[in-house]
Structure 1
Amino acid sequence: MSTLVLFYIILALLVGVAVGYFQYFFKVKNTPKYHIVLFALRTLSIFFLLLLLINPQLKIKETFNIKPKLSVVVDNSLSTSFFKEESNIEELMREFKSSNKLNGKFDLDFFSFGEEIQSADSLTFNDSHTNIHKAIKSINNLHKDEDGAIILISDGNQTIGEDYAYVNSKKTIYPVIIGDTTKYEDIKIGQLNVNKYSYINNKFPVEALIQYDGEKPVNVVYSIFKSGRKIFSKPLNLSKENNSITVTANLSSDKEGVHYYSASVSKLPGEKNVKNNTKNFSVEVIDEQAKVLILTSIMHPDLGAFTKAIESNKQRSVTVSNITKFKGSFEEYQFVIAYQPNIYFKPFFDERKSNFLIVTGSKTDWNFINTLELGITKSYINQSEDYNATYNSNYLTFIQKDIGFNDFPPLKDKFGAVSAKDHQSLLFQKLQGFTTDEPILATLEKGEQKFGVLLGEGIWKWRAASYLRETSFQEFDAFVGNLVQFLSSNKKRKRLDVKIENLYLANETIDISALYLDSNFKFDSRASIQIAIENTITKEKKIFPFSLSNSSFKVEVDGLAPGDYSYLVSVEGQTVKKSGRFKVADFQIEEQFSNANTEKLTQLATKTEGSTFFSHEQNNLINQLVDDKKYFTVQKSVEKERGLIHWKWLLFVIVGLLTVEWFLRKYYGKI
């Protein structure tokens, strides 16, 4: 308490005494004895009232102890149950929770992880993926300002994510190895590379990486089956030194449609895990290849970005030609990209009325485009401007998710105002931080004609940015593919469009999306859509309703057993329907490992200055953690100010004093 506050308290007492004296003793000749009581009551009430206003504070120093954090992170994936380690893990958890030595030194918290990390309230051991790297990073971010360590209970077999052996962890990690650590002879298909599409009467390659883990030489047979019939076979010789081999099979595609295959390698004598000996795949055979032409008058990196993105779908081939050197017919191509057109493009626009994409930029002749009567014009000046893109979630023409458009680098185009008719904007222009209603990417439809306009050069930067974001070109290439597919199609627009894959893996979440348009081809958010899925063998049928998500309908389907399925998507009260087939393959990625990855867990422990332990060595782990001097309790003190008085009680006392004084004055006739 400061000297000034103490002075105010003394002053308040003196003021209370002065007020009481003035009222009951000043210029009073005959002072009755009860005036002393009234004087005391008035003095105290005035003093307490002023004390309430002063509200004196006392500084109190609080001291508390902070224990180091110990995070116990448990592998909750299917591989744990595959190795039959559920009871061992539950016993480990009980040991850690009940250990007085451990809880006396550390502040424990418990987490489980598969693809994501969460609080370990209950363990199910049914997660279909393991991401150890993400779990370690999450714990480090959660307790980034606290000292401590991590106990990682896992078999060390990761199925997705970055290599956890190289994770940057400020906390020491102590892996507890579960699963079978015995080395068994094992042969597996490590990787299978195959295109999703092929063309009728062509051959398509199937590339398989066969891996062997063992000491002695073995002879096996690699085979590919279709509908139970062997269509390819090759004997292989592997050994400890020659433990992997790549086999390429060229299969014929003689019938249009979706075809399912199974690749397998024969079982070794006494092999423990044979589930990794087989992998399923599908190939869609199409009748013809779509030809795409890119017409340009300049050289630009965008041409390569478009080519690679379009040709990532093997249904399409791209030809790049300078407009002044083009020989042939434009009608040979199903789709044309007119890159930064000028007056030399006039023959193309005179002949071609639809199925094209215009890409503009700093070299574009907008005077020429404005004369084409395409429904889009621009009032411009000869000065370039950078335009960022903003995703339009209300775009209804075809289904296209946001792949991070808002974060992509800007495109360059001539500065000016854009005017467009009968268009749908997938992306709006964002200029100097403000989103406008002018398009940067739009599709236009005029009767039977449809085409698109991309207002800006530099899309190669988008492809690079997408790769940095996703570590893959797949998202960007799929976006370009969707745009090309819509603009190149001459088919009548469908009112119901369903996006579903041909092949899924067991225990994989099946994401299905649908776009429904009313009779005026406007998105109808009021529609009630459902999908009926039936197993073609058991005839078991399940119905799932779609839910509205932005400008499309979506449903997630879980728990389908391996097998062949047919589906029917229908709209309540409408005759619009969409049917098809897909397959759920009997493949569990978490069951592809024959033993725990002891080497990688040991590498992780060494990198973070920890130690590895087996599941029966929990007492050694506890003792090492307790005895380690680098983990210690930190004592901290915090100085806080607390009120010297409790204002509610003091207010109650003041009211009581004034009330007693009033009754005494009333009793003695002073009122």
Structure 2
Amino acid sequence: MSLFLLILLLINPSIEKIEIENEKPTLSILVDNSKSVSFFKEDKSVTDFIYKLQNNNALITKFSLNEFSFGRELQILDSLSFLENETNIAKAIIGVNELQKDKIAPIILITDGNQTIGAAYEFLNTKQPIYPIIIGDTTKYVDLKIAQLNVNKYSYIQNKFPVEVILNYEGSETVNTQFSIFSDGKTVYRENVSFSSEKKSATITANLTSTKEGLQYYTASVSNLKNEKNTKNNSKSFSVEVINEQTKVLILSSVLHPDIGALKKSIESNKQRSVAVFMIDDFKGQINDYRLVILNQVNNKFNTIISQLNETNSNYLLISGANTDWNFINKQQLGFIKKAINQTENYGAIFNDSFLTFLQENIGFNNFPPLKDKFGEVLISKEHQTLLYQNINGIQTNQPLLTTFDVNNQKSAVLFGEGIWKWRAASFLNSNSYEDFDKFTGSLVQYLASNKKRDRLEVNANTIYPANSTINISAFYTDKNYQFDARAALEIAITNTATKEVTKIPFSLVNNSYQVEIENLVSGDYSYKVEVLGLNIKSYGRFIITEYQIEEQFTNANVTKLQQLAVKTGGKVYYKNQLADVTKELLENEYFYTVQKSSVKQQNLIDWKWILFFVVALFTAEWFIRKYHGKI
């Protein structure tokens, strides 16, 4: 019997069993959890609508209900606060589509249709029909708002800087109003503007004069219209940092090159700067007359100039290329060398997000044409910060393309490649303006031309934040040798200048910088102090939190976009009081059917655990019987 059961266990006979499973369609309920819902006073109506959906027995019988809420991100619905500061409807729909891929899963979208960030949701391609439930006021009111404000962050003393403001009007009557810009309670610009049913938009360009050095705050405002419901979008604050600086730049080159003209035009786009260009053989002046010296295609003819730069601790920018004599440069002990061969290579740019020497945005560096330089490895022996890395034939490297130095109160930078004139042309093609590229060279020149001693603690923060936004502040701290120090403990103390309330928050170490996120600060004027605990090293600054609430800038629900979304996806628009209608549509729609799925499973005819138990029991009994009879 034991042997028989063992053989049966090894054979393990089985049969096929067909199992039938019914898969109900999924009904996804997407709920707008942003502040605009509470602004429209729709909190209770939304929660009541969801409660009735969740407790509708007919829907529960036909569908599997999945509930989500969304603001900036999509989340599983737990509770509704209506406190999200931003709305991304497109991201929420895309997220649900990914979760319900290859399923029958209609979507109920409960929202006012006003999106503040993200792609245009009305043009999304989705296989699932969407049924928007419109909440909020659908009445069209007269409204005038500042749709967009464009201004440079920096200006120079006694210079004029442009402020471009785009005003939008919603209404059918002809109206006259006044646009103004205020600073310190005084009107610095005023212009009358009119709108009508034909003229719905106006662009105003104001040229303001920088009269005071430092950070200056302004408020752009358009007068309220009669019977205008929402006046919070009639004003917007901005800031400009006014710099008192006169800069003379010298460009010395060993060859004629288009880079020279591009740099001269770009630098002189700021009227506070002038550029003098000389061939190295023709220069007879003194470098002390200039705040910055640009060395293009250095060779042994630059020996005297480089010696003067080192003796006077003058700041410089070195640009290398196909005509650069790297054997000469390597002997100058500048803190960097290049093991170059007599062959050129094209180097693309990779933007470094962690660059903290000065504030620089990515203006499309990764897509700019490559620069040309002699091929070889770059070795740097002194402290540096790299803004751009080299990309060689699509391969990203850790080799610098543009790097900066600040050692012994001498600032310098090296661009390892010629052809920067192509960058200026490419920037113009991308934006139809040289402004982005000129701001880049302006930031680089401003840094290099400044004789200010580098601080061991550098703090990056904006000057204006919208209400209820997350405030991100980063700091870079170095030791006495100006090497990044990850051992320090940094703390920020934020003071509300009106209430004198102080909030202290420690920084967190993230990669090679210290960062802090601050939330829930009320609107107002703030000053801050960043301190390295245990050391007398501090940095001060200020910022303003405006009363601008982006979720409160809408006067009514966006019915048009929601209707477009419903039509494109095969759904239908309903309103909050049409629960019975939307329920009837979902229940009677034959497209939403239960899918019957069959699966074939192998089922064992025997239970191996019991068989194994009997085998062990029989062998044990046989052993005792044989032992008893003396057979063992």
1:600 is matched with 561
8 Å Cα contact 1:323/1:345 also seen in 2? no
Rounded to whole Å, the distance in 1 between the matches of 2:281 and 2:536 is: 51
Shift of 1:666: 4.6
2:334 is matched with 374
Shift of 1:472: 13
- TM-score, normalising length: structure 1: 0.81
1:177 is matched with 134
Tell me, which stretches of 5 or more residues in structure 1 are unaligned?
A: 1-42
1:14 is matched with none
2:320 is matched with 360
For the pair 1:220 / 2:181, whether they are aligned, the reply is: no
Q: Structure 1 residues 70-79 or 398-407, which shifts more? A: 398-407
- The structure with the largest alpha-carbon Rg is 1
2:213 is matched with 256
For the pair 1:622 / 2:580, whether they are aligned, the reply is: no
What amino acid is the match of 1:608? T
Which of 380, 404, 411 is equivalent to 1:443?
Answer: 404
Shift of 1:183: 1.0
What amino acid is the match of 1:378? K
Local SS of the residue matching 1:378: strand
Shift of 1:334: 3.6
Local SS of the residue matching 1:169: coil
Which of 497, 509, 513 is equivalent to 1:536?
Answer: 497
For the pair 1:77 / 2:37, whether they are aligned, the reply is: no
Write out per-residue CA displacement over residues 48-87 of structure 1, whole angstroms, 9 at most, x where no aligned residue.
2233333344333333233333322221111111111111
What amino acid is the match of 1:634? V
Shift of 1:533: 0.9
Rounded to whole Å, the distance in 1 between the matches of 2:258 and 2:418 is: 9
- TM-score, normalising length: structure 2: 0.86
For the pair 1:654 / 2:615, whether they are aligned, the reply is: yes
Q: How does 1:484-563 map to 2 (within 5 A)?
A: 484-563=445-524
Rounded to whole Å, the distance in 1 between the matches of 2:13 and 2:111 is: 57
Local SS of the residue matching 1:539: coil
1:46 is matched with 3
Which of 133, 149, 167 is equivalent to 1:210?
Answer: 167
Shift of 1:586: 1.0
Write out per-residue CA displacement over residues 574-609 of structure 1, whole angstroms, 9 at most, x where no aligned residue.
111112222111110111111111111112222222
Measured at CA, do residues 585 and 235 of structure 1 come closer, stay the same or move farther in structure 2, by a change above 3 Å?
Answer: same
Write out per-residue CA displacement over residues 14-47 of structure 1, whole angstroms, 9 at most, x where no aligned residue.
xxxxxxxxxxxxxxxxxxxxxxxxxxxxx2x112
Local SS of the residue matching 1:148: coil
Shift of 1:367: 4.2
What amino acid is the match of 2:329? I
For the pair 1:424 / 2:384, whether they are aligned, the reply is: yes
For the pair 1:640 / 2:601, whether they are aligned, the reply is: yes
Local SS of the residue matching 1:201: coil
Rounded to whole Å, the distance in 2 between the matches of 1:466 and 1:164 is: 30
Q: How does 1:240-389 map to 2 (within 5 A)?
A: 240-288=197-245, 290=247, 297=255, 299=257, 323=279, 334-341=291-298, 349=306, 352-353=309-310, 354-370=314-330, 372-386=332-346
Shift of 1:160: 1.7
Local SS of the residue matching 1:616: coil
Rounded to whole Å, the distance in 2 between the matches of 1:424 and 1:101 is: 68
Shift of 1:120: 1.7
1:65 is matched with 22
Local SS of the residue matching 2:45: helix
Q: Structure 1 residues 481-490 or 92-101, which shifts more? A: 481-490
Measured at CA, do residues 153 and 420 of structure 1 come closer, stay the same or move farther in structure 2, by a change above 3 Å?
Answer: same
Rounded to whole Å, the distance in 2 between the matches of 1:433 and 1:194 is: 36
| Percent identity between the two aligned chains | 51
Shift of 1:398: 7.0
Rounded to whole Å, the distance in 2 between the matches of 1:517 and 1:321 is: 37
Q: Structure 1 residues 325-334 or 101-110, which shifts more? A: 325-334
Write out per-residue CA displacement over residues 482-522 of structure 1, whole angstroms, 9 at most, x where no aligned residue.
65554333221211111112211111111111112223333
For the pair 1:139 / 2:96, whether they are aligned, the reply is: yes
Measured at CA, do residues 225 and 78 of structure 1 come closer, stay the same or move farther in structure 2, by a change above 3 Å?
Answer: same
Measured at CA, do residues 423 and 196 of structure 1 come closer, stay the same or move farther in structure 2, by a change above 3 Å?
Answer: closer
Q: Structure 1 residues 513-522 or 490-499, which shifts more? A: 513-522
8 Å Cα contact 2:523/2:544 also seen in 1? yes
1:452 is matched with 413
Rounded to whole Å, the distance in 2 between the matches of 1:151 and 1:388 is: 47
8 Å Cα contact 1:399/1:515 also seen in 2? no
1:105 is matched with 62
Q: Structure 1 residues 267-276 or 551-560, which shifts more? A: 267-276
1:38 is matched with none
Which of 571, 587, 590 is equivalent to 2:532?
Answer: 571
Aligned length: 626
Measured at CA, do residues 481 and 369 of structure 1 come closer, stay the same or move farther in structure 2, by a change above 3 Å?
Answer: same
Measured at CA, do residues 394 and 272 of structure 1 come closer, stay the same or move farther in structure 2, by a change above 3 Å?
Answer: closer
Local SS of the residue matching 1:623: helix
What amino acid is the match of 2:456? R
Local SS of the residue matching 2:584: helix
Measured at CA, do residues 57 and 161 of structure 1 come closer, stay the same or move farther in structure 2, by a change above 3 Å?
Answer: same
Measured at CA, do residues 239 and 90 of structure 1 come closer, stay the same or move farther in structure 2, by a change above 3 Å?
Answer: same
Rounded to whole Å, the distance in 2 between the matches of 1:277 and 1:66 is: 53
Local SS of the residue matching 1:559: coil
2:375 is matched with 415
Rounded to whole Å, the distance in 2 between the matches of 1:306 and 1:130 is: 45
Shift of 1:111: 1.8
Write out per-residue CA displacement over residues 135-185 of structure 1, whole angstroms, 9 at most, x where no aligned residue.
222223333333423222211111122222222323222221111001111
What amino acid is the match of 1:156? G
